[in-house]
Amino acid sequence: MISRVREVGRLIELRYVLPIQLADLDERALASWIQLLESVPRPVVCIDVRDASVLSPELADRLAVLMDRTRGLFARAAEIVSPSTSRTFLLQLDRIARQTADPARRIFTDPRDAIAWLDEVLEPDERARLRAFLARRNRRA
């Protein structure tokens, strides 16, 4: 599952909650995601994938489509992966990022670097919420 939340200002929080299903990236999910992005002027997106793992080829392809179709809809998007993430997963994300070639989207292994980059365009209340979001990790049921 991919959870999408907008709690404060322009900050949109995404967290990949395992397992991720094909339905999480289908046309309906994509339309919902685009609608959320378009409802916020110049949204800033933080994507926490620190607890995610290797995607199936189908999921990776759908994620690439989603990222391509949302290019230009946000001011910045930071995707945060764990430093201990598998090399395969990092290669998948890197391939998708290169494919979409979006300068407003970056991948980070250190949340502090992502925070510093996003802070440049966030208001104080959004900065506080970003830190609270990243302090919380996935809890598997």
Question: Using one digit for the tens of pLDDT, what is the confidence trace for 9-20?
Answer: 999 999 987 777
Q: What is the mean pLDDT of the chain?
A: 87
**Is pLDDT above 50 for 141?**
no
Could you tell me if residue 92 is inside a domain?
yes
Pairing of strands 105-108, 44-48: unpaired
Range of the domain at 69: 2-135
Which amino acid would we find at residue 67?
M
Most confident option among 20-29, 40-49, 50-59, 89-98: 40-49
Could you tell me if residue 16 is inside a domain?
yes
Tokens (6 digits) for 61: 């392809």
Which pLDDT band, with edges at 50, 70 and 90, does 23 fall under?
confident
Helices (H), 1-141: 27-38, 57-69, 87-100, 111-119, 124-135
Could you tell me if residue 32 is inside a domain?
yes
Could you tell me if residue 141 is inside a domain?
no
**Domains identified in the chain, total number:** 1
The pLDDT assigned to 75 comes to 95
Q: What is the CATH number of the domain that holds 128?
A: 3.30.750
Could you tell me if residue 140 is inside a domain?
no
Angle between helices 57-69 and 87-100 (to 10 degrees): 30
